[in-house]
Amino acid sequence: MIRPIVKFGVAGLQAPSQPVVEFDTALHTLIDDMIETMYAAPGIGLAAPQIGVPLQVCVIDLSIGKRGGQVITLVNPEFVEREGLQLEEEGCLSVPGLQATVPRSERAVVTGRDRDGLPITIEGHGLLARALQHELDHLDGRLFLDRLRGIQRDVIVRRIRKQQRQGAW
């Protein structure tokens, strides 16, 4: 089931998520819905708080479903390594239509659990490393805006506020 994606301004989006304890059918339904919602958007990543669920779950698929078996599901993820620097434009399904150049590590290694609770490790360079950092930020209640310097962030927030006043957000 495709679920509505919440946008910047909804409080839950900027609160830390809770670890998953039960790897049950409710979790599997949540993950399936997140994957379907990500593909429909379309986007390359989605975190549970973006559909209003405060749990440490995120999904990533750089192919947006075009190549089978590419989807990564991460439950209770955490970084074990980050190194290097990349500067690329970044957007977010919860901040539609607005992008900014965000500094991120070039390489990231994350450990966590898969949908069945088994331990997994994901290593990413470039875009995958960026997606991992973006989605894990969501689980800490952080948006890409929060990684920008004051003035850059203010410009984007002003544009959002304007759209909110116009009822277009």
Residue 112 carries which DSSP code?
E
Residue reference for tokens 């002003």: 158
**Smaller CB distance to Zn ion: residue 92 or 156?**
92
Taking the C-alpha atoms of residue 148 and residue 104, their distance in angstroms, rounded to an integer, is 11
Span near Zn ion by CB under 5 A; candidates 1-9, 88-96, 110-118, 119-127:
88-96
Q: Which of 34, 57, 58, 92 binds Zn ion (CB under 5 A)?
A: 92
Per-residue tokens: 48: 């549970």
**Smaller CB distance to Zn ion: residue 48 or 92?**
92
Respond yes or no: is residue 135 known to be catalytic.
Answer: yes
Would you call 47 helix, strand, or coil by DSSP? strand
How far is CA 96 from its chain centroid? 13
Minimum CB–partner distance for residue 134 and Zn ion (Å) = 5
Exposure b/e, 30-39, CB count within 10 A at least 16 = b: bbebbbbbbb
Annotated catalytic residue, options 36, 78, 89, 135 = 135
Minimum CB–partner distance for residue 25 and Zn ion (Å) = 26
**Smaller CB distance to Zn ion: residue 23 or 122?**
122
Query: 119 has which bridge partners?
Result: 113
Give the nearest residue (CB) to Zn ion. 92
Query: Annotated active-site positions, please?
Result: 135
